[in-house]
Structure 1
Amino acid sequence: MTTESLAGLGNLALSRKEDFKTFVEAPRRTQPAKLAREALQALDETARTAYERDRRTWHANLGPIKTPQLVSLHGDLWDIVDSNQQDGDKAKGAVAVDAFPGLGKTTAVLAFAREFHRREIAEHGAFTTQGHERWPVCRVGLTGNTGMKDLNRAMLEFFGHPGRQTSTAAQLGLQALDCMLLCEVRLLILDDLHFLKWRKTSGIEVSNHLKWIANEFPVTLLKVGVGLMDKGLFSEGEATGDTVLAQTGRRTTRLDMPPFTIDTEQGRRRWRQLLLALEQRIVLADAHPGMLADDLPNYLFARSTGHIGSLMTLVNRGCQRAQRTGAERLTRDLLDQVRNDEAAEQARRELEYAFRAGKATSRPHGSRIPT
């Protein structure tokens, strides 16, 4: 796949199978060469334009990084998905990835889905024994108004089924089941599950429907959302009087993506390892070893509060500014000009005070302190 077609990955809707396939089959991006300032200035106009475009795209897609959180989540997901090979008369265990925003849960789940899809195709082929396209993964994004019919239609939208606009809710459900069976779907991802109002009529309706899917579809349900426990997904039914939610809790394994912390030596070392990994991916002429891990660890933690999503946003935007302005490195002065997400900005002041007062540090014992 060429650089131009890789750039086109920004124009995908992963809720449709063709786009999801493009995402899954895309090769790893090739990191642009790091050029010294002299070599950068020596490029002619055409080469400079192409190089700057490649760097912009590269910095906008620095992840995913194999953090301890991602590795742990993937290990649990492989355990659960691979153990869900029961015969069709047995319901399969479901998974709920429940974590705060900005911790990389959707990125981690999509990275797992890509690996799983590739493995299934490699082992079983691109077509089923009946000659249908094999789709190991179906990914559906939910909205705040999702009811049973909307969920069924969204599953059919993934497959581009012609009956998705005209059928009844029951017909849509059966058509979705047919698609899953014919295409031998093994993993059904429901993203943004927190948009549902679980203790409202539509939420109970969808919860009942998810139970039906778990019973009838030969898939592992992978639900992704924020605050799912608080919304009642795992409740035993006391709040609603509905035992269906209790059954959902019994069949669902909750996994999380915790933020980085610096209150232990292990936590500080993990933060440093993340910054070192990020440094290796930054393509700026004046970037140097320790630019993040030695020079800016406390600053970057304060700006991100240990949330990898906020960190990646800040570094990406900082790289774009450093490239555009000719600074060609990340410094505190440059990053102070870069706006981050509102949640991170709100928490920034308290953390910066703790670092200045010596009440906290993100530096592990023995790491270099800039002079």
Structure 2
Amino acid sequence: MVNPRPQSTAPASTTADRGGGTAEPSWPLTTWQGWNRFAATDPPTPPRPGDPPRSTEERLACHSAFVTIRTPAISTLATQVRTLTILGRHQQTTARPSLIVTGPAAAGKTTALLHVSRACHLAHTRKNPPPPGSAHAAVPVAYALVPPGATAKTLITEFARYLGIPTTTRMTQTQITDAVCHTYTAAGIHLVLIDEIHRLNPRTTTGAQAAGLLKDLTERLPATFVYAGINLPDTPCSPAPAASKNRQVDEVQAVFDRSGDWPRASRRAVPHCRPLRGVGRLKCSPRREGIDRGP
């Protein structure tokens, strides 16, 4: 699985092309340029039998990209996101239902979240292509990363940075929030992803203010919010307890675990490996078989 943190998987390539051109600018996923490049870039294709051998650099580049296998957990997450998005379209008076993706560290939460949101991005752009002559592509998805020790103002600044909304140190939180809500609504964003949500602690003053900001955004933006964090039901460092108490969101938890359906899903995703299961296998000795079978 890929480590999809914005620092390490910026969609734009930083290497020069084969023709010796200059390096392309690298944008993180927390900006629209980086997200659009990530969503529009096709996943790497594995080499086929008979292809010329690849160099070490090419093999490392292919392995570093990785290919996300659509496990049952990812399928469940995709279904829940689509369902909540449809429900949110017809809910105008109160905060729209949101989704909380939780699980242990390094379980693939962000990978699954990016995989599902990329599919939503591509489906929306196919159904709603930009009009002829328009220089602006559709902006259906927004991705924000909660910074460590985030306050309400630093958090809303992350939302502004995604679409390049200019901000200054003299601007108040209310001014930045108004600009973000106006721009996000005009851009047509209908899915907002908030990662590392466990960094917020609503039991502190700054954490409670940041959680209140998220509640305000869910009521003002016509979008479905998806939160991702580590072990959210088991820790107070998340907006989940406050959200449940205030009925801010409808918690639909997609728990990711390292065990369970992963081996079966990986075998189904690589069907061409099945005929090779018996090749090179050692037969068990009669003594071993007797131990396995029992008395």
Q: Normalised by the shorter chain, which TM-score bucket? A: 0.7 to 0.9
| Alpha carbons of structure 1 residues 73 and 290: separation in structure 2 relative to 1, 3 Å | same
Check whether the contact 2:73–2:256 (CA below 8 A) recurs between aligned residues.
yes
Question: Counterpart of 1:229 in 2: which secondary structure?
Answer: helix
| Alpha carbons of structure 1 residues 250 and 161: separation in structure 2 relative to 1, 3 Å | closer
Instruction: List runs of 5+ in structure 2 lacking aligned partners.
Output: 1-11, 282-290
Amino acid at match of 1:110: L
Normalising by structure 2, report the TM-score: 0.76
Question: Residue in 2 aligned with 1:231?
Answer: 235
Aligned positions of 1:99-114 closer than 5 A = 99-114=103-118
Q: 1:271 aligns with which of 244, 263, 270?
A: 263
Aligned equivalents of 1:250 and 1:213: distance in 2?
A: 12
Aligned positions of 1:53-92 closer than 5 A = 53-92=57-96
Aligned equivalents of 2:118 and 2:203: distance in 1?
A: 33
Deviations 1:285-326 (A, max 9, x none): xxx9349x997xxxxxxxxxxxxxxxxxxxxxxxxxxxxxxx
Amino acid at match of 1:289: L
Check whether the contact 1:106–1:224 (CA below 8 A) recurs between aligned residues.
yes
> Could you tell me how far 1:22 is from its partner in structure 2?
0.4
Q: 1:32 aligns with which of 47, 64, 71?
A: 47
Aligned equivalents of 1:271 and 1:196: distance in 2?
A: 34
Instruction: List runs of 5+ in structure 1 lacking aligned partners.
Output: 41-47, 238-243, 262-266, 282-287, 296-356, 359-371
Aligned equivalents of 1:9 and 1:65: distance in 2?
A: 29
| Alpha carbons of structure 1 residues 178 and 278: separation in structure 2 relative to 1, 3 Å | same
> Could you tell me how far 1:248 is from its partner in structure 2?
4.5
Aligned equivalents of 1:95 and 1:171: distance in 2?
A: 27
Question: Counterpart of 1:84 in 2: which secondary structure?
Answer: helix
Amino acid at match of 1:251: D
Amino acid at match of 1:209: L
Amino acid at match of 2:266: L
Question: Residue in 1 aligned with 2:33?
Answer: 18
Q: Larger RCO: Structure 1 or Structure 2 (Cα < 8 Å, ≥ 6 residues apart)?
A: 2
Aligned positions of 1:239-318 closer than 5 A = 246-248=245-247, 251-261=250-260, 271-275=263-267, 277=269, 289-290=276-277
Question: Residue in 1 aligned with 2:6?
Answer: none
Amino acid at match of 2:250: R
| Alpha carbons of structure 1 residues 272 and 212: separation in structure 2 relative to 1, 3 Å | closer
Identical pairs, percent: 18
Check whether the contact 2:95–2:249 (CA below 8 A) recurs between aligned residues.
no
Aligned positions of 1:135-146 closer than 5 A = 135-146=139-150
Aligned equivalents of 1:184 and 1:126: distance in 2?
A: 12
Q: Pick the structure with more helix per residue.
A: 1
Amino acid at match of 2:276: P
Aligned equivalents of 2:169 and 2:129: distance in 1?
A: 31
Alpha-carbon RMSD: 3.5
| Alpha carbons of structure 1 residues 279 and 158: separation in structure 2 relative to 1, 3 Å | same
Aligned equivalents of 2:57 and 2:125: distance in 1?
A: 33
Equivalenced residue count is 263
> Could you tell me how far 1:230 is from its partner in structure 2?
2.7
Question: Residue in 2 aligned with 1:299?
Answer: none
Aligned equivalents of 1:280 and 1:173: distance in 2?
A: 52
Check whether the contact 2:147–2:155 (CA below 8 A) recurs between aligned residues.
no
Question: Counterpart of 1:167 in 2: which secondary structure?
Answer: coil
Question: Residue in 1 aligned with 2:9?
Answer: none
Deviations 1:256-286 (A, max 9, x none): 223323xxxxx5xx514415646969xxxxx
Question: Residue in 1 aligned with 2:3?
Answer: none
